[in-house]
A = this chain, B = another copy of it.
Amino acid sequence: MDSGMKLVKIYECLCDATRLRILSVLGQGPLCVCHFQEILREPQVKISKHLSYLRTRGLVVYERVGNWMVYELPAKPSPELRANLACLQDCAREDAVFQRDLARLKKLAPKFAETSPCCGGACAPAAKK
């Protein structure tokens, strides 16, 4: 499984639909777990476990903001990761599942910004000013 190959580890992270959706949404900006839940419409355990999976493999980083854990893509990804994330964003444009997620993100962003303390700060793309 391990094989030590960097590329394999990246692809292992990419071969699950939930994780792809997480990474796709993260392409728009940082987000906390409860917002992932709303956007992907998946239970907390599922989201949390997949984020944990991605975290331990370096595909995402996180920061605590009060009770919230705000996840985002690494600032300086390896060339391999950078290339594959770009490729993913590209391909994701074609698929209805990703489109729906992004549409929900767009729709919910203002609400997130108002109602969630974590989003006054880093969370939600609306925060990028």
Contacts and interface: CB of A to CB of B under 8 A. Distances in A.
A95 interface: yes
Interface in A4-27: 5-8, 11-12, 14-17, 20
Chain A, interface residues (CB within 8 Å), range: 20 to 34
A91 interface: yes
Interface centre among A15, A87, A97 (most CB of B within 10 A): A15
A8 B3 contact: no
A94 interface: yes
A108 B16 CA distance: 37
Contacts of A15: 8, 11-12, 14-15
Contacts of A92: 7
Interface in A67-97: 79-80, 83-84, 87-88, 90-92, 94-95, 97
A49 to B, nearest CB: 16
A61 B17 CA distance: 25
A16 B5 CA distance: 9
A80 B91 CA distance: 6
